[in-house]
Amino acid sequence: MTTSRRKFIKISALGLGAVAASTTAINMFGSNSYIDELVKQNVSKKFKRTATYCEVCFWKCAAWTYTNEDGEIKKIIGNDDDSHCYGRLCPRGTGGVGMYTDEDRLKTPLIRTTVNGEQTFRKASWDEALDLIASKFKGIKETHGAESIALIKHGAPGSHLEHLLKAFGSDTIAEPAYAQCRGPRETGFNLTFGSWVGSPEPTDIRDTKCLVLIGSHIGENMHNSQVQEMSDAIDNGATIITVDPRLSTAASKSKFWLAIKPATDIALMLSWMNVLIEEGIYDKEYINKYATGFDELKKHVSQFTPEWAYGITTIKPDVIRETARAMAHAAPAVIIHPGRHVVWYGDDSQRARAMAILNALLGSWGRRGGFYFKEAAKVPNFPAPAYPEPKWGWKEIGEKYPLAQMGITNEVMKCMLPDKDNKYPVKALMVAGTNITKAMPNKKLLEDAMDALDFMVVIDTMPMDVTGYADVVLPECTYLERYDDIRSATNREPSIAIRVPAVEPKYESKPAWWMAKQIGERLGLGAYFNYDDFKEVIEWQLKEMGTSLEEMEKIGVKNYPRKSGPMYLNEDETYNFPTDNGKIHLYSQELKDLGFDPMPNYTKHPEPPQGFYRLNYGRAPMHTFSRTVNNPNLNDLKKENDLWVNPKVARIIGLKSGQEVWLKNQDDIISTFSIKVRVTERVRWDSVYMVHGFGHQNKELSRANGKGINDTELITKVFTDPIMGGTGMRGNFVAILTENPHKNTEI
Amino acid sequence: MRYAMIIDTLKCVGCSDCVVACQTENDVPIGYCRDWITETVNGSYPNLELELKSERCNHCDNAPCVRCCPTGASHVGVGGIVLVTANECIGCGACIESCPYDARFQHPDGYVDKCTFCHHRLEKGQLPACVSVCPTKCMYFGDLDDPNSEVSQLLKNRKHKTLAPEAGTKPHVFYLI
């Protein structure tokens, strides 16, 4: 046990010198001058293009990395054959160059040490860092079992470390992408249709006639193909209905913007069900053929009239009726979008259920312009021994949430706290590709949990805040410098994409597959890493799939014909949904048996007290969470977040746009940094809004440090979904402080 | 040949992909940009209108920047593209002051820089970088002298506007509204 607090180390203590690469900028396209000649030479310079898929977000768009004759990465362009991007990357993908060029990147392995009583990091060799990790892991396995080593992960590096952990005998694995993001919708849709939504969502936006977005802000989230398809839908004259307390970008493109009172969405959806059923405009044939529980649903929603919902949601009854009719008119080419970040109030699986039920009433699941039946290409596993069977893992840790389908990060963190009754003690933690101190709420729990650990390793490309809590930090190279797993995701047609390094890794950074293999070999797990280069794994897999690395390097993406049947329901044939009885569940016996509401109900959630405003947060199109804020190209587009405040509120408090303020939440937690006010009509008077991912504490992030507020540090109240363990985060309230509360303290 | 760019404000989400694509395509130094995004909000909650759009040099027919340039560095090139010959530019900044769109900036290397409609790409038959990457496909580019071009047809069939028409500059960047 460590006796002293695991003090957050600001990596700047190391004096890691950063040398900014100077870029020559002679590129002016004047005519009739010697510059013209230079330009022509420049233009005719041979670019080499290398296949990749983007890692700046989870959409994983396939792309080409262009390098010039000097081997410098010049630009990244979408792959025309890719259904994730249709040849056009989003700003983050285009600006992915900055992930590589960022001079603040982690450069060498680091090991925590104490100098003159102060904790700091020192540079270490790879051998030293890897030997240390292996010896610690061995020790923990001997004392507590391999299960006591946990992994919290995201993205491509996560899968390599997952392989390592499973090979070592631990399945104590979780990712914020589940309990802090899309978990509830997977549970809600699975309970209804027997199928996860998955990623990318199988929304047939391209051919829809009516797109309904409930707190989902396409256009501010740049889920690439969806943004593109929404644009096509606008061209095609589709009706867009947006339910959002804030005038989001999508709301501004909508025929109907329903400026709903926050936390009342389920009431609106129940009243939509009421209108569809009472007016007899639901898809009767579809419901008769494919669904069970209609009579119970009809009875249940008969009480939830638009007039009832008006008093709760502030949406006028005639607007509720008009929008329900617009959906029915477009049906089945209508989409009630499942959303993505859906952990809001703790009844999120039930809200996802309400969305799924509405889609069922409109007959949109399995219909053109609604939801298509998705399919992915099967990538064979590279030969390796079977994993040992752990005694416990993520399932047991999350056992009080009966329908959790993946590890719950917060529950894994709780297992790190000292507690003699803890059946599942976690003693070591590996974090890969996720900045958990920003991705997860309840900072105190996180700090207490990390403080109690025997050992912690963080793998990242950047000195994210979470690296400051590690005992060992391993510098990963960026996606532009490495091989990774073949991308295979569900879509209209199965497809694969590959990632090939365009350049050598900068500094001493290494790919995560290499780290996993090196640690694995030191743990005697060499049989699980039976290759010298991950390239061999891909080569073998591609050969098994009837192609080759040589071919894939030329095309980047390969699309395969569907094997699972048509994309949409064939009306003349019977179809069994993948539920227990082959039918869509409007009424869920499974929920009933577990003691939950079998059909969604509206629950009133707490409202902000006098002087406080609901803290809402969202996305900016040029940033991915906290990951990209220091990227030189993307930071140039947006350096800090701002606090959206309604003009009425600004008048009461006396705020002006550009004014610096601090926030204090309901638990007296005060923001570390300040934020600039943006007075705007786009936000309601009972809420404030900011983009998530800012307010970095690590000084080594030279552009991002101290800029804006980290919304997550103000999310100390968590509303846990009892069905699947999601952490509802939209019930935190903040007061606006105009005087600096840290005047006499050093941050 | 008269090049024009059209931006559909009904589709633009203001993501700034055009900005970063221009930077990487044209080696625009970090901290500078040849194109940018504006946001305009009208009305009061909840009766609101929001317009997002990508702006840049308007490649005006009646370009004040060309008129006021003392050295002739600012000039009109093929297809009506307004350009600056860097080695003839003395960086006096008169053009920067004269532009009603604030489309020009002093490049750290000493000359004045701005959008070129990526004419080095046009020569190769490619679209300007911003148009080629736009994820909403809200940007169109083509020849207004050709009545059948996509841009001519869009201006014929869709309601549109230009920026600061009162300046009398005759811009060649149009906005569908």
Cα–Cα distance measured from residue B95 to residue A318, given in angstroms and rounded to the nearest whole number: 55
In percent, the amount of chain B with pLDDT more than 90 equals: 100
Cα–Cα distance measured from residue A428 to residue B161, given in angstroms and rounded to the nearest whole number: 61
Chain A positions touching B44 (Cβ under 8 A) are 647, 681
Nearest to A91 among B20, B51, B75 (CB): B20
Task: Please check whether residue A222 touches B, CB under 8 A.
Answer: yes
Q: Which of A136, A131, A105 is nearest to A11 (CA)?
A: A105
Cα–Cα distance measured from residue A661 to residue A649, given in angstroms and rounded to the nearest whole number: 14
What tens digit of pLDDT does each residue of A658-691 get?
Answer: 999 999 999 999 999 999 999 999 999 999 999 9
Task: Please check whether residue B52 touches A, CB under 8 A.
Answer: yes
Q: Does residue A147 have a pLDDT over 90?
A: yes
Cβ–Cβ gap B135/A259 under 8 Å: no
Backbone torsion region of residue A422, taken as left when φ is above 0, otherwise alpha when ψ lies between -120 and 50, otherwise beta: beta
CA distance A126 to chain B (A): 33
What tens digit of pLDDT does each residue of A335-359 get?
Answer: 999 999 999 999 999 999 999 999 9
Q: What is the pLDDT averaged over residues A285-299?
A: 97
Beta bridge partner(s), residue B173: B5
- In a 3-state reduction of DSSP, which class is residue A111? strand
Task: Please check whether residue B134 touches A, CB under 8 A.
Answer: yes
Residue from A101, A231, A239, A633 to probe the interface with B (highest B Cβ count within 10 Å): A231
Which residue segments constitute the domains of chain A, with CATH numbers given? 181-369 (3.40.228.10), 613-737 (2.40.40.20)
Cβ–Cβ gap A222/B44 under 8 Å: no
Q: What secondary structure does DSSP assign to A177-230, as a single string?
A: HIIIIIHHHHHHHHHHHSS---SS--B-GGG-SEEEEES--BTTB--HHHHHHH
Q: According to the model, what pLDDT value does residue A468 have?
A: 96
Cα–Cα distance measured from residue A477 to residue A509, given in angstroms and rounded to the nearest whole number: 5
Query: Which pLDDT band, with edges at 50, 70 and 90, does A32 fall under?
Result: very low
Task: Please check whether residue A219 touches B, CB under 8 A.
Answer: yes
Cα–Cα distance measured from residue A51 to residue A557, given in angstroms and rounded to the nearest whole number: 8
Chain A positions touching B31 (Cβ under 8 A) are 636
Q: Does residue A302 have a pLDDT over 80?
A: yes
Q: Does residue A442 have a pLDDT over 80?
A: yes
Q: Which amino acid is at A664?
A: K
**How many C-beta atoms lie closer than 10 Å to residue A56's C-beta?**
28
Cα–Cα distance measured from residue A273 to residue A541, given in angstroms and rounded to the nearest whole number: 47
Residue from B6, B9, B13 to probe the interface with A (highest A Cβ count within 10 Å): B13
Q: According to the model, what pLDDT value does residue A232 have?
A: 97
Nearest-CA residue of chain B relative to A94?
B21
Q: Tell me what ipTM this predicted complex has.
A: 0.95
Q: What is the pLDDT averaged over residues A87-106?
A: 98
Task: Please check whether residue B112 touches A, CB under 8 A.
Answer: no
CA distances A648 to A652, A656, A685, B44, Å, are 6, 11, 7, 10
Q: What is the largest CA-CA distance in chain A?
A: 81
Q: What secondary structure does DSSP assign to A123-137, as a single string?
A: E--HHHHHHHHHHHH
Chain B positions touching A680 (Cβ under 8 A) are 41
> Side-chain half-sphere of A98: how many Cα atoms within 13 Å?
27
Touching B: A residues 395-434, CB under 8 Å = none
Determine if the peptide bond prior to A561 is cis (ω within 30°).
Answer: no
Cβ–Cβ gap A35/B87 under 8 Å: yes
Task: Please check whether residue A39 touches B, CB under 8 A.
Answer: yes
Residue from B8, B10, B20 to probe the interface with A (highest A Cβ count within 10 Å): B20
CA distance A359 to chain B (A): 26
Task: Please check whether residue A281 touches B, CB under 8 A.
Answer: no
Q: What is the pLDDT averaged over residues A100-117?
A: 96
Task: Please check whether residue B108 touches A, CB under 8 A.
Answer: yes
Cβ–Cβ gap A95/B48 under 8 Å: no
Length of chain B: 177
What tens digit of pLDDT does each residue of A403-416 get?
Answer: 999 999 999 999 99
Task: Please check whether residue B132 touches A, CB under 8 A.
Answer: yes
Q: According to the model, what pLDDT value does residue A45 have?
A: 66
CB-CB contact of B142 with B5 (8 Å): no
Q: Which amino acid is at A435?
A: N
Catalogue the long-range contacts made by B87-95 (C-beta closer than 8 Å, 24 or more residues apart).
Answer: B87/A30, B87/A33, B87/A34, B87/A35, B87/B111, B88/A30, B88/A33, B94/B68, B94/B69, B94/B70, B95/B64, B95/B65, B95/B66, B95/B68, B95/B69
Cα–chain center distance at A712:
14
Q: Does residue A41 have a pLDDT over 60?
A: no
Q: Does residue A1 have a pLDDT over 50?
A: no
Residue where the block lists tokens 């047939």: A204
Q: Does residue A21 have a pLDDT over 50?
A: no
Beta bridge partner(s), residue A218: A221
Q: According to the model, what pLDDT value does residue A46 have?
A: 83
Cα–Cα distance measured from residue A512 to residue B51, given in angstroms and rounded to the nearest whole number: 43
Cα–Cα distance measured from residue A258 to residue A246, given in angstroms and rounded to the nearest whole number: 9
Task: Please check whether residue B111 touches A, CB under 8 A.
Answer: yes
CA distance A621 to chain B (A): 5
Q: What is the pLDDT averaged over residues A156-178?
A: 97
**How many C-beta atoms lie closer than 10 Å to residue A20's C-beta?**
12
Task: Please check whether residue B20 touches A, CB under 8 A.
Answer: yes
CA distance A220 to chain B (A): 7
Q: According to the model, what pLDDT value does residue A14 have?
A: 39
Q: Which of A576, A503, A651, A519 is nearest to A72 (CA)?
A: A503
Q: Does residue B40 have a pLDDT over 70?
A: yes
Chain A positions touching B21 (Cβ under 8 A) are 75, 91, 94
- For helices A317-330 and A306-313, what crossing angle results, to 10°? 120
Q: Does residue A269 have a pLDDT over 80?
A: yes
Q: Does residue A534 have a pLDDT over 90?
A: yes
Q: According to the model, what pLDDT value does residue A43 have?
A: 52
Q: Does residue B89 have a pLDDT over 80?
A: yes
Cα–Cα distance measured from residue B117 to residue B83, given in angstroms and rounded to the nearest whole number: 9
CA distance A372 to chain B (A): 22
What tens digit of pLDDT does each residue of A194-238 get?
Answer: 999 999 999 999 999 999 999 999 999 999 999 999 999 999 999
Nearest to A25 among B77, B108, B119 (CB): B108
**How many C-beta atoms lie closer than 10 Å to residue A21's C-beta?**
8
CB-CB contact of A672 with A699 (8 Å): no
Query: Which pLDDT band, with edges at 50, 70 and 90, does A420 fall under?
Result: confident
Tell me the average pLDDT of chain A.
Answer: 94
Task: Please check whether residue A234 touches B, CB under 8 A.
Answer: yes
**How many C-beta atoms lie closer than 10 Å to residue A212's C-beta?**
29
Cα–Cα distance measured from residue A372 to residue A238, given in angstroms and rounded to the nearest whole number: 18
What tens digit of pLDDT does each residue of A599-641 get?
Answer: 999 999 999 999 999 999 999 999 999 999 999 999 999 999 9
Q: Does residue A24 have a pLDDT over 50?
A: no
Q: What is the 3-state secondary structure (H, E, C) of A258-270?
A: ECCCCCCHHHHHH
Q: Which of A72, A164, A17 is nearest to A481 (CA)?
A: A72
In percent, the amount of chain A with pLDDT more than 70 equals: 94
- For helices A126-144 and A512-522, what crossing angle results, to 10°? 60
Cβ–Cβ gap B15/A634 under 8 Å: no
Q: According to the model, what pLDDT value does residue A6 have?
A: 56
Find the angle CA(A571)-CA(A575)-CA(A579) to the nearest 5 degrees: 140
Cα–chain center distance at A643:
22
CA end-to-end span of chain A: 28
CB-CB contact of A709 with A676 (8 Å): no
Chain A positions touching B111 (Cβ under 8 A) are 28
Chain A positions touching B75 (Cβ under 8 A) are 31
Determine if the peptide bond prior to A200 is cis (ω within 30°).
Answer: yes
Q: Does residue A30 have a pLDDT over 80?
A: no
Cβ–Cβ gap B87/A219 under 8 Å: no
Work out how many CB contacts closer than 8 A connect A with B.
168
- In a 3-state reduction of DSSP, which class is residue A313? helix
Task: Please check whether residue B55 touches A, CB under 8 A.
Answer: no
Q: Does residue B83 have a pLDDT over 90?
A: yes
Which residue segments constitute the domains of chain B, with CATH numbers given? 3-176 (3.30.70.20)
Q: According to the model, what pLDDT value does residue A573 have?
A: 81
CA distance A728 to chain B (A): 26
In percent, the amount of chain A with pLDDT more than 90 equals: 91
Residue where the block lists tokens 């109900």: A601
Task: Please check whether residue B153 touches A, CB under 8 A.
Answer: no
Chain B positions touching A211 (Cβ under 8 A) are none
Query: Which pLDDT band, with edges at 50, 70 and 90, does A574 fall under?
Result: confident
Task: Please check whether residue B45 touches A, CB under 8 A.
Answer: yes
Length of chain A: 747
CA distances A493 to A198, A563, A565, Å, are 15, 9, 11
Q: What is the pTM of this model?
A: 0.94
* Strands of A334-336's sheet in order across: A256-258, A239-243, A210-214, A334-336
